[in-house]
Every structure is written in C-alpha cells, then in structure tokens.
Copies of this chain bind each other. A is one copy, B any other.
Amino acid sequence: MRIALDAMGGDFAPEPNIKGAIDALQAEPALEVVLVGPQDLLESQIEASGYNGERLSIVHASQVVGMEEKPTEAMRSKPDSSISVCWKLMAAREVDAVVSAGNTGAVVASGLKTRLFLKEVKRPGIAVTLPTVAGHAVLMDVGANPSARPAHLYQYAVMGEIYAREVLGVASPKVGLINIGSEDVKGNDLYRETYRLLTESPLKESFVGNVEGRGLYQGEADVLICEGFVGNVVLKVSEGMAEFLMKEASHQILGSLDKEKGQALQAFQEMAKRFRYHETGGAPLLGIDGICIICHGSSDAHSITNALRGSIMFKDRGINSQIAEHLAQKPVA
C-alpha cells in the first residue's frame, strides 16, 4: 500500500510527520510512504534522521497552507500546496491514501474538488471517534458538509455503521440520529426527514432513533449522525470543555494534595491521553474513492504512525467496497 503523507501539515510539521512515517515503515513491511512537501527540506530531514530511505520517497510541493489560513483563499492562491499535491497523486491513482494533519478545511476542500467520490455517494463526510462511557462512538459528519440534506445524513449512517463495525470492532453498531428530543417529530425538517429515511431503510434494525446531546458521551449509540455544522461545533466544544475541565480539575485537586500529588498528576496524565483525539489514528473522510485520513493539527509522530497504520486497516477491511455495495443496493433519492 502506498500513502501520500502531507509532510507539511500540522502544528509541528515536518519533524513529527517524518518520524511518524519512518516508524510506520519499520512496523509495516508492505507500506510505502510518499512524503509531499519541499524536496530540499525533506531530503535534509530524512538524512538527519539516519533512515536508509527504503520505501520512502518524496514528491515535491513548493507551497504550504497555514493552519489558520482561510481554506477557500488558500486553494486559490496555492495550487502547488502539499495538500493539493497529495490529492493530485490520489486522483492519478499513484497512491491509495492521503494522510494529513494540515488545515482540515483545506484538506476537505481540496479533496472535494477532485470529485473523487465513491459511486452513489452524494457528499463525503468526516467521521471522528470519541471516547464514551461505553468505550467509543463515531460522530459523523464533523464539518465536511455544512449544508446537509436528508439523503446525505442517511448515507453518513450507512458509512458510519460500516466504519464502526470494521474499525471499532463493534459487531452490530447501533446508529442514532443526533436530535433535540427523542420524539420522531423533533428537530427541524432535515432531521425529521432523515429519521423517516432511516426507519424505512435496510439500516432500520440498527437505528435506535433520536439521541440527545447527553447520549453521545453516555454511549447511547455507536454511531451518531448529524450535519457537519452541528458535528463540528460538538467536536470543538468537546475539545474546549475537556481542556477547561481537566485544567480546572488538576488545579483544584492537585492543589488540595500534599505528599500524594505526584501519583495524582500521573493519573491525570493517563486520563488526558484517553481524551486526546490523535490517539485514535485520525478521522477518515468517508465517501471518497480512495482513503483520506485527517489528523489533528497537534499530531505528534505517534499520531502520524497511527494514522498511516489506520489507513492500512481501512484498506484491508474493504470499507470502501462495503460502502459502495450497500449504497448500490438501495440508493436514496
């Protein structure tokens, strides 16, 4: 398997990206990584790493999209960005996957521009894995598609269910629709119509109905579906709140302790790790004909390695062919 890694994506790139790639190459004998970014810079970094270069190549990209840059503008003004070049490689079938910890908006915009969609897929969406009381849950879409229609949400349910089964290992994933109450008439037209589509679809056995916000972290479903606007706000509110709560808790609790402060601090650090998104190996943009894994901007080498290895699993489990097969069976209007 050949993966294009955006060497310049992420808050600390390119160092952790290169280290992450080398670690993944050493663990996975069938993996090939194409580092995408400024040739000279990457060459010197690889040399400095001492790695012999096996199965690691470079494709030059002269531009870099900043993490805070406006995606639409960046797409226009930087046609040779590492993100764009990654997608060009996938569109040309020179790689099987794109992995990037770069500007999420730009990764998505650039990917959608290729129109490299799986057959029957109307709009790709980002699926993120979150920790819950029950283990983990997949939330989709978290921002690829801010103006969803019911058919899009229905397809997210199909894709999320397959992903949860194959990647999280849930035998029969329960699918819930994020909503503001459990009644089937709740929400607005988008959610009411999606509810109807789900109850009349092949997914009806897996569909547990509307799930309120509380249910997400309480583990009421394995797959939670919503439009990109809602999912993105939920994801980022969660990040902000986890940071706030953990800071507050460690301050208050550690402040109350004396001799046992050290062991409490260690317990905090263990816990914080569980809530770090990049531990999960990145979030796939599902619905793409190919593989695209989006990593958190703060990814370290370990997260990059996880995402590269996750791409292999994604391919091995045949997620895309399962999605295409399911959607061909019963396309939605």
CB < 8 Å neighbour of A188 from B146, B252, B274: B146
Q: Given A230-B229, A236-B213, A242-B245, are A189 and B147 also a contact pair (CB < 8 Å)?
A: yes
User: At the interface with chain B, which of A79-87, A177-185, A322-330?
Assistant: A177-185
B236 x A233 contact (CB < 8 A): no
Residue on B with the closest CB to A237? B213
Q: How distant is the Cα of A192 from the Cα of B305 in the complex, in angstroms?
A: 38
Q: Given A147-B189, A237-B237, A239-B213, are A263 and B256 also a contact pair (CB < 8 Å)?
A: yes
Within the complex, what minimum Cβ distance (angstroms) separates A142 from chain B?
9
Q: List 30 A-B contacts (CB under 8 A).
A: A72-B183, A133-B244, A146-B187, A178-B233, A180-B233, A187-B229, A213-B232, A213-B237, A213-B239, A214-B236, A214-B239, A214-B240, A216-B241, A218-B240, A230-B233, A234-B234, A237-B237, A241-B241, A241-B245, A249-B268, A249-B271, A252-B267, A252-B268, A253-B253, A253-B264, A256-B260, A256-B263, A256-B266, A256-B267, A257-B257
- Residue numbers of A with Cβ under 8 A of B are 70-72, 105, 132-133, 143, 146-147, 178, 180-181, 183, 185-189, 191, 212-218, 226, 228-230, 232-249, 252-253, 255-260, 263-264, 266-268, 270-271, 274-275
